[in-house]
């Protein structure tokens, strides 16, 4: 039986995380600042994965600030530690914990960030957001990011048939696990139900030109999907052939990724 996060952390997947982290820092700069991510802030990056966003946050909060990177996967935390060491970041610490049981102290941080985690925890969404709300100090903010996978698009359309098919199989796989890949639509509601105020819920398309060799999330989940019987070895072979063909295009496909952000504050 497959449970929990299903994206294997290959080198290609870690590279995708780093690209996404840099893009998020650029696209969401105003929203991060409004939430309180600034020099001297204490920030928790829950569900940090290999720590790509954690490292960006550590640079923003500076030596007077602190970033608590939390993930339930020891492998991800090992990669996060290595990344921090490689960049000489000493204002970070790392803890093993789930999104609903981080192990962090109540009202101990200024901002909690949770990115693309709720979609992988079907049934626990409100419990997770309630827990995150308990971690921030009065006046502090919870900052959520997630997607709406059914609205993902590619261009040129005729070249992307395999990606459309893969994405649909991926959505069906997650639905079978009880996960909601459209949870981005509910972020504001989850924050309000956690007792937070001044909810700012926004959505946009992030436009990405993936370089050759970069693969979408369903590829990272292929072994888990195979184990669950959602795909076959033949499917994987077909996808591999199609990806290799797309890698040879002179101009990469364009991905249009629907991304939702939401933040809200704990009453002072």
Instruction: Give me the residue spans of the domains in the chain.
Output: 11-265
Residue 2: which pLDDT band, with cuts at 50, 70 and 90?
very low
Residue 101 token pair:
């049981």
- Per the CB < 8 A criterion, the answer to whether 57 and 124 are in contact is no
The separation between CA 80 and the C-alpha centre of its own chain, rounded to angstroms, equals 14
pLDDT tens, 145-182? 999 999 999 999 999 888 998 999 999 999 999 999 99
Tell me how crowded residue 46 is: count the other CB atoms within 10 A of its CB: 27
Assign a CATH topology to domain 11-265: Rossmann fold (3.40.50)
Averaged pLDDT score across all residues of the chain: 92
Helix (H, G, I), strand (E, B) or coil at 40: coil
Residue 3: which pLDDT band, with cuts at 50, 70 and 90?
very low
- Per the CB < 8 A criterion, the answer to whether 181 and 160 are in contact is no
260: preceding bond cis by omega (within 30 degrees)? no
Residue 118, CA distances (Å) to 29, 65, 114 in order: 22, 26, 8
Residue 44 token pair:
């928790």
pLDDT tens, 203-234? 999 898 888 888 888 988 999 999 999 999 99
DSSP characters for 142-179? Answer: EEEEEE-GGG-EEESGGG-HHHHHHHHHHHHHHHHTT-
pLDDT tens, 19-57? 888 889 999 999 999 999 999 999 999 999 999 999 999
CA 107, CA 261: separation in Å to the nearest integer? 22
């Amino acid at each position: 039986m497959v449970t929990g996060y299903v994206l294997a952390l290959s080198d290609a997947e870690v590279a995708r995380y780093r690209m996404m982290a840099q893009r998020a820092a650029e696209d969401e700069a105003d929203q991060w600042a409004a939430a309180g991510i600034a020099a001297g802030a204490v920030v928790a990056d829950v569900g940090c994965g290999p720590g790509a966003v954690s490292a960006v946050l550590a640079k923003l909060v500076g030596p007077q600030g602190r970033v608590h990177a939390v993930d339930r996967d020891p492998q991800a935390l090992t990669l996060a530690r290595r990344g921090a060491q490689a960049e000489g970041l000493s204002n970070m610490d790392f803890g093993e914990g789930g999104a609903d049981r981080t192990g962090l102290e109540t009202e101990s941080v200024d901002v909690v960030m949770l990115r693309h985690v709720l979609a992988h925890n079907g049934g626990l969404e409100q419990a997770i957001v309630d827990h995150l709300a308990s971690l921030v100090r009065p006046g502090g903010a919870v900052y959520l990011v997630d997607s709406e996978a059914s609205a993902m698009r590619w261009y040129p359309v005729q070249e992307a048939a395999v990606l459309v098919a893969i994405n649909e199989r991926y959505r069906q796989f997650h639905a079978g696990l009880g996960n909601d890949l459209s949870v981005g639509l509910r972020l504001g509601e989850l924050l309000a139900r956690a007792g937070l105020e001044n909810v700012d819920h926004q959505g946009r398309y992030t436009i990405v030109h993936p370089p050759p060799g970069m693969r979408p999330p369903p590829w990272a989940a292929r072994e888990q999907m195979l184990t669950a019987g959602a795909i076959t070895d033949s499917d994987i072979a077909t996808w591999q052939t199609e990806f290799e063909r797309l890698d040879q295009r002179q101009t990469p496909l364009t991905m249009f990724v629907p991304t939702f952000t939401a933040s809200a504050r704990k009453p002072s």
